[in-house]
Amino acid sequence: MEFKHVSVLLEETIEGLNIKEDGIYVDGTMGGAGHSYQICKRLGEHGRFVGIDQDEAAIMTGKERLKEFGDKVSIVRSNYCNMKQVLADLGIEKVNGIVLDLGVSSHQLDTADRGFSYKENGPLDMRMDKRQTLTAKDIVNTYSEMELFRIIRDYGEDKFAKNIAKHIVRMRQEKEFETTYELNEAIAAAIPMKVRKNTGHPSKKTFQAIRIELNKELEVLNNTLQDMIDLLEPDGRICIITFHSLEDRIVKSIFRKNENPCTCPPSFPVCMCGQVSKGKVVTRKPILPSDEEMEVNRRSKSAKLRVFERR
């Protein structure tokens, strides 16, 4: 099945990268290669591109879509948390730009047997990297009620988290959860009918929460973002598209800390801590999709783009 994905905030991201013809650029979440293709198109003969993704289907698609660019393209199956090592293995120390699109691809959502979508019946999988052994089924069937409550509350930001966790634990005692529709049933039972009528799909937030927990998405971002900033050449830029308030908060906080790392009390007349700024936040406020984009691609609705430039 072809890896279909409409790249969110495509023009804004390419503009944010400020691409140099002979630069080295990395897409850490290559997906359907939408951003990647536009980067490669702007590279000159000495330019270089590295595409990273942990999804096998994305790797195959990237190789096919970017083959016209020949030797200037390297594609590696890995998690972007290994970016530093991936680049070192390719003999690259510093890069001119990095892009991360942290959303789930349309291909992953629309492929029922990947288990990402609450709208399609399929196995409870949700692995971004199918080499991983832990699946969504394991989380749903083995996490304690307290653990389920915590992830649905924190990662799903669902006010019915407590009730949803309770229903999941109660229902799995009768029969282990196997499919997305079985999980839908438990979630729907936990949310009052009048609330279900007036809001979106009742499962949306819980599915998001389980996916984030399973793939350690926030942990990876939090632990890797500093490394990525340090990989940038002077004037190099990193563009990150988030789809979740907690992701956005991590990006905003780390970007700000790199712009102004001083830890001295405000009362100090001069800086004594010796922390030096690593660059500047290009986007004071995140860039949001236009009304036109949201109309064409409703999945772009919660997207936010932030850009940081290295000093």
Instruction: Let me know the angle formed at the C-alpha of 41 by 38 and 45, rounded to the nearest 5 degrees.
Output: 145
What pTM does this model have? 0.93
pLDDT value at residue 18: 98
Closest CA relative to residue 140, chosen from 85, 64, 207: 207
The stretch 153-161 carries a mean pLDDT of: 96
Residues 158 and 28: their CA atoms lie apart, in Å, by: 29
CA 260 to chain centre: 25
* pLDDT classification of 6: cutoffs 50, 70, 90: confident
pLDDT value at residue 110: 85
Going along the chain from its start, the domains and CATH numbers come out as: 10-106+217-310 (3.40.50.150), 133-214 (1.10.150.170)
Using CB atoms within 10 Å of the CB of residue 262, give its burial: 0 to 12 exposed, 13 to 18 middle, 19+ buried: middle
pLDDT value at residue 227: 97
**Amino acid, single-letter form, for residue 112:** A
The stretch 221-235 carries a mean pLDDT of: 98
Give me the helices (H) in 175-306, please.
180-190, 193-198, 204-214, 217-230, 245-259, 291-296
* pLDDT classification of 5: cutoffs 50, 70, 90: low
The stretch 42-56 carries a mean pLDDT of: 97
pLDDT in tens, 80-91: 999 999 999 999
Q: Mean pLDDT across the chain, nearest whole number?
A: 95
* pLDDT classification of 3: cutoffs 50, 70, 90: low
pLDDT higher than 80, residue 197: no
Q: Which of 160-169, 192-201, 248-257 has the lowest mean pLDDT?
A: 192-201
Percentage of the chain surpassing pLDDT 70? 98
pLDDT value at residue 4: 57
The two structure tokens encoding residue 221? 């971002």
* pLDDT classification of 103: cutoffs 50, 70, 90: confident
CA 40 to chain centre: 21
